[in-house]
Amino acid sequence: MKKLSSLLILSMLSTLSFAQKTNYNLIVGTYTAPGKSEGIYTYDFNTLTAATTVKSITKNTANPSYVAVSPDNKFIYAVNETGATSTVSAFKYDAKTGELTFLNKVDSHGADPCFITVDAKNIIVANYSGGSLAVFSRKADGSLTEALQIIKHTGKSIDPKGRQESAHVHMTKFTPDHKYLIVNDLGEDQTYIYNYNPTSKEKILTVKSVLKTNAGTGPRHITFSPNGKFAYLAHEFNGSITVFAYADGSLTKIQEIGTTPKDFTGKVDGADIHVSADGKFLYETNRGDANSISAFSILPTGKLKFIETVSTLGKGPRNFTIDPTGKFLLIGHQYTNNIVIFNRNKTTGKLTDSGKRIDVGAPVCLVFN
C-alpha cells in the first residue's frame, strides 16, 4: 500500500511539474552579414508573459540562417549561407544553459543552403543557389560526416525576372510517416517526393514522383496537418497556398487559395507556413511589399477558410513559430532586425500585437526547444 501511495505521489508530482512548465528555449538562426547579428541566439521564453532573456550567443559562425535540433535534444545543426563557400555546422547543445559548443563543419556541396532537416540518423540540407540537396550522417559525438549523397536538380521555369533560370532547392521536409522526403524546387516549379532509406549506404534518397506546380509561382515551404492527412504548400512569387490530401507518399491537390487582396499589385514574396498544434488553424507570411500574415481555419475536409490578413509589424518576415502553449506567435523580421510577438486567440485563430519585441539582427529561423 505504501509503495502504491508513493508511486501515486510521484506520478502527481510529475504531472504537476509538466503542467507548470512555463519556460522554453527559443533558438534563433540569423544572418551575421552585414553585421547586426553575432550568430545563433538562445533565449529563455516565458509562456505566461512572453518575456525573453538571452541565455547564450554562439559567435564565430557565419550566416547560420537555418538551424535544427536533433531528436535527442543533444545537438544543433546549422547551415552557413556564404555563397560558393557555404558549409554545414554541428554543435553540442546544452538545453539547460542554452550553450552551443562547436564540433565541426563540412562543405554543403551547393551554394547558399537555406534549409536543414534532422532526424535520428541523417542531416539533409537544401542548397538554394546550388540547386542541390545533400545528405550527411552524424558520428557518435554528434559531429557531421562528409556528404553521403548529393542530388543536383537541373531544370528551370518561366519567371521573367530571372529567378527560375536554374534549379533552386528551397526546402527538405519529412512526411509525417517519415517514409518520404518532400523537396520543393522554387526554380523548377516542382515538388519532389523522395523515398527515404535512412540506413542505406549509397541511395538514401531515390525519386518516387515529381509534382509540377503552377508555372511561375515558385514552391517554397510546405507543412502538414498534425493528423498527417493534409499538406499545405506556400508559393513564393504570388503567396498562394496549394492544399493537398496526403497518403502514403502521394499528394493530391484539393484547393488553391490566395493570401493577398485581389487588388494587391505589389511584390509578394511568400515566406513561411505553419499549422497550429491543435490542427485548427493555418498561418502564412508574405514579405516584399505585403509584410503580412494571413490566418485560415482548417475545415474537416482539409480545405482552408480565410479568417484575416494583418500586418506583421515589421519588414521582411521570414520564419515564424507558435510557442508550445499556442498562446503566442513569433515572427522574425530580416530587415527591421526584430522578432514581433503576437497574442494568438486559440479559439478564433486571430492575432493581436502583444507589444513584446526581441531585438536581434536579421532573424531568419525560430525554433522552440
pLDDT at 15 over 60: no
- pLDDT band of 20, cuts 50, 70, 90: low
Q: What pairs with residue 339 in β-bridges? A: 332, 358
132 neighbors 147 (Cβ within 8 angstroms) = no
55 neighbors 100 (Cβ within 8 angstroms) = no
Please tell me whether residue 10 adopts helix, strand or coil conformation. helix
pLDDT at 304 over 50: yes
Q: pLDDT (tens digit, 9 = 90+) per residue, 213-237? A: 999 999 999 999 999 999 999 999 9
pLDDT at 193 over 80: yes
Say how far apart CA 169 and CA 311 lie, in whole Å: 28
Say how far apart CA 118 and CA 70 lie, in whole Å: 6
The pLDDT assigned to 367 comes to 98
pLDDT at 141 over 50: yes
Q: What percent of the chain has pLDDT over 90?
A: 92
pLDDT at 334 over 80: yes
pLDDT at 145 over 90: yes
Please tell me whether residue 24 adopts helix, strand or coil conformation. strand
Any idea which residue has 504531472 for its cell? 15
| Mean pLDDT on 166-182 | 98
- How long is the chain? 369
The CA-atom distances, in angstroms, between 56 and each of 25, 41, 212 are 10, 6, 43
Say how far apart CA 25 and CA 55 lie, in whole Å: 9
The pLDDT assigned to 169 comes to 98
Read off the C-alpha cell for 96: 539547460
The reported pTM is 0.94
Spatial CA neighbour of 288 closest among 226, 195, 218, 209: 218
The pLDDT assigned to 21 comes to 85
The pLDDT assigned to 35 comes to 84
pLDDT at 17 over 70: no
Say how far apart CA 186 and CA 302 lie, in whole Å: 24
Rg (CA), the chain: 20
Cis check: omega of the bond before 34, within 30 degrees of 0: yes
Spatial CA neighbour of 115 closest among 318, 359, 328: 318
Any idea which residue has 510546405 for its cell? 222
pLDDT at 69 over 90: yes
Q: What's the chain's average pLDDT?
A: 94
pLDDT at 11 over 80: no
Please tell me whether residue 303 adopts helix, strand or coil conformation. coil
Q: Where are the alpha helices (DSSP H) in the chain?
A: 2-19
